[in-house]
Amino acid sequence: MNLRTRLDSTRAPLSWDVIVVGGGPCGAAAAWSLAGRGWRVGLVDRQAFPREKVCGDALLPDALHALRRLALADEVFKAGHRVSSLSIVTPGGRELRVPGEFLTLRREVLDAILHRGAVRAGAEAIQAEAVAVFETGRRVRVEFRSLPPIEARTCILATGAETRLVQAFEGVAPVPPTAIASRRYIRSGHSLDRLMVTYDRGLGPAYAWIFPLGGGWFNVGVGSLWGARLARDHPALFDRFTALCPEARAVMAAGEASGPLRSAPLRCGLDERVLRPGRLCLAAGELAASTFPFTGEGIGKALETGLLAAEAVGGFLSGDERGLEAYGPAVRQLEPKYRAYHAAHRLLNHPRLMELAAWRLNRSPWLAARLAAVLREEEDPRALFSVSGLLTSFFR
């Protein structure tokens, strides 16, 4: 019997141990973890998978690390395109190359692999738009636009930059999106051996990227701070980028765009106020602003916070009444990992310091190795992004 028939034929709402709302990387990781431990998990998304998600499609080392924990790295590596360095172009046009393990894969494919992984582990996929979540005594009730309500013992909200469901909880006021970014797919004969992110001052208060996807495809995009003038005119910003940056010009000259420039908001920098919107509900992923500032990279921390939420929910479902309380402190432990990105973001306001840091990084193998280790999250970013870190590098 399919879900709709089951819902229509029962007078009381169907009940799960946990309902995960949002089937992106965060929700899929949480559902995979809980279903794998034998809990009854409903994984809700308003869209059917595979579905498109506006993104740069780049997986940085923290995302690859999380995928290995999910035992899905092999499948993702097989589908993706490996890249072994990342270039960061400073506002003054200096290019820094950071070696590392990177992968690109269209989100349509990545998210379908993750969603399928969760279903394979035992989660039940429910395609419906959740319109309200509220707690009734010891249960959570989720209401939908097109299905009868369902109930669960607990709930993980993982709706990305969409904050409507948590806003309805009393006293929860999530910060609005912090940035907006847009991407376009280009098929081109040009070849590029690295991921490129640029903060060239010619773009204004904005950044842009070119990520090779393999097979002659590129993800080319621009991002700007929420509320900045440029956020309203991304097509013009995109044109400026592809005229200004030699690599982007070369990609465009040898290629053609497939589909329109598409935009989406980002929530960056961790928003602790939404982690626990209710007694029985947790919020994770981009909804909790888990995306990194400066680069807008968020898949890795969406996966990681999803797994942390699952850990706390697992404890609660096993009988630990205070299990959900472990989630906030666990997420706060990630905070140092955001410091490098906050520091780099702040450097953008000090262009001379940024040029000095970039100049130094290009000359110091010690500093370049530290930066690669920070990206792999093997080193505390304070060793690098501090005045003392920079000074130390002059003696190495």
Nearer to ligand FAD, 126 or 367 (CB): 126
Cis peptide before 205 (omega within 30 of 0): no
Provide the minimum distance between the beta carbon of 344 and ligand FAD in the complex, in angstroms, as a whole number.
16
- For residue 16, count other CB atoms closer than 10 A to its CB: 24
The interface mask with ligand FAD, positions 6-35, x = CB under 6 A, is ---------------xxxxxxx--------
Residues 213, 82 contacting (CB under 8 angstroms): no
Q: Does 162 bind ligand FAD (CB under 6 A)?
A: yes
Strand partners, 268: 291
Least CB distance to ligand FAD at residue 126 (A): 9
Q: How far apart are CA 16 and CA 38, in angstroms?
A: 12
Among 36, 100, 221, 293, binds ligand FAD (CB under 6 A): 221
Q: 268, 280, 378, 393: which is closest to 327 by C-alpha?
A: 280
54 binds ligand FAD (CB under 6 A): yes
Residue window 171-210: x/- pattern of binding to ligand FAD, with contact defined by CB under 6 A: ----------xxx---------------------------
> Binding of ligand FAD at residue 44 (CB under 6 A)?
yes
Closest CB to ligand FAD among 24 and 278?
24
Binding mask 77-116 for ligand FAD (x = CB under 6 A): ----------------------------------------
* 158 is a contact residue toward ligand FAD (CB under 6 A): yes
Q: Residue 35 in contact with residue 307, Cβ under 8 Å?
A: no
- The least distance separating ligand FAD from the CB of residue 260, rounded to whole angstroms, comes to 13
The amino acid occupying position 386 is: S
Cβ distance to ligand FAD smaller for residue 266 or 274: 266
**Please, which residue, 221 or 277, has the CB nearer to ligand FAD?**
221
3-state secondary structure of 375: helix
Is residue 299 a contact point for ligand FAD (CB under 6 A)? yes
Hey, which residues does 208 pair with through a beta bridge? Answer: 198, 222
Distance CA 25, CA 118 (A): 10
* β-bridge mates for residue 188, sequence order: 255
Least separation in angstroms between residue 239's CB and ligand FAD is: 17
Q: Interface with ligand FAD includes 159 (CB under 6 A)? A: yes
Vertex 270: Cα angle to 178 and 142 (nearest 5): 90
Asked if residues 182 and 54 have their Cβ atoms less than 8 Å apart, the reply is yes
